[in-house]
Amino acid sequence: MKALIFEQFGGPEVLRYTDIPDPELAPGTVLVRIEAAGLNFADIYRRRGNYHLVAKPPYILGYEGAGVVTRIAPDVTALRVGDRVAFTDVPRANAELAAVPVKQAIPLPDDISCEQAASLLLQGLTAHYLIHDSYALRAGDTALVHAAAGGVGQWLTQLCASRGARVIGLTSSDAKKEAALKAGADVVLLYGEDWTSEAKRIANGGAGVDVAYDSVGSTLMDSFSAVRTTGTVVFYGMAGGDPPLVDPRMLMDTSKKLVGGDLWNHVTTRETRIARSNALFEALRMGQLRMEAPRRFPLADGAEAHRLLESRASTGKILLIP
């Protein structure tokens, strides 16, 4: 099969499109012909060597994708050849074929395309647990959404709005501000401004926002400043660097809450993966989620896709098409 591989860490130039052996079909797995693979910053970090990789070269990036089942292991009964499935945490997806454990395979309804699934599920599932589990968002709440024009940020903004919450988005540029407004943010502030004071001023009569969803990390204490007394900061990413240490006495004095978040603690069974995914698919059908057309790159041009993502000039999903 063809695959996008690299054998040493570095920039996009280390990526190479070549032939490698097909994956082996272990018990409990199915072989999926990939129709679309999602590109994420985690792929950039792995290519650079920032994330530990288990295995030996040649490395194959990609943990998110969708396609058609072409073979099944003898012990598999939950899926059949010809079924369409998606996955969010199966390695080596930047290839024509991927071996997918059944417990991580998400069946696709007839009205959801492989490209839609590969564009939605990883970031969409993250947004789903953030508003249901990390902080049970209610109608009338005001939510501060960091990186509101990013992958998770746009889905999170839309889901917050669909629950009747007011959304204050944060972005780094005017172009990304427009993307966040299009996603449904009521107000969008820029990081270069005094956004902490402004977010607090316009929320709850100057008391501050009810919840801040912080995926930047280095902004954690600013998020606490923007949150009202008894409010919540949900910390779920470090795109801007490590967060500062939090003084528990501050939490005690203000009755504010700090909640950590990681998707993989919320999709621990096949049943929960499917249930949460189906909730997102239904939100698409009802128009609560609006999906922009993704940027599509042939898998052979994966280096160009990496360059675009690294430039931070993109606001929508980037897909690699084998």
Write out pLDDT tens, residues 194-252. 999 999 999 999 999 999 999 999 999 999 999 999 999 999 998 888 899 999 999 99
- The tokens of 148 are what? 């509101």
Report the C-alpha gap between 31 and 98 in whole angstroms.
Answer: 6
For residue 52, pLDDT over 80 is answered with no
For residue 315, pLDDT over 80 is answered with no
What is the average pLDDT value for the chain, to the nearest integer? 95
For residue 53, pLDDT over 90 is answered with no
pTM, entire model: 0.94
pLDDT at 14: 97
pLDDT at 56: 83
How many Cα atoms are found within 13 Å in the side-chain-facing hemisphere of 186? 16
For residue 54, pLDDT over 80 is answered with no
Domains of the chain: residue spans and CATH: 2-108+292-321 (3.90.180.10), 124-264 (3.40.50.720)
The 10s digit of each residue's pLDDT in 260-271 is 999 999 999 999
Mean pLDDT of 165-179: 95
The 10s digit of each residue's pLDDT in 128-170 is 999 999 999 999 999 999 999 999 999 999 999 999 999 999 9
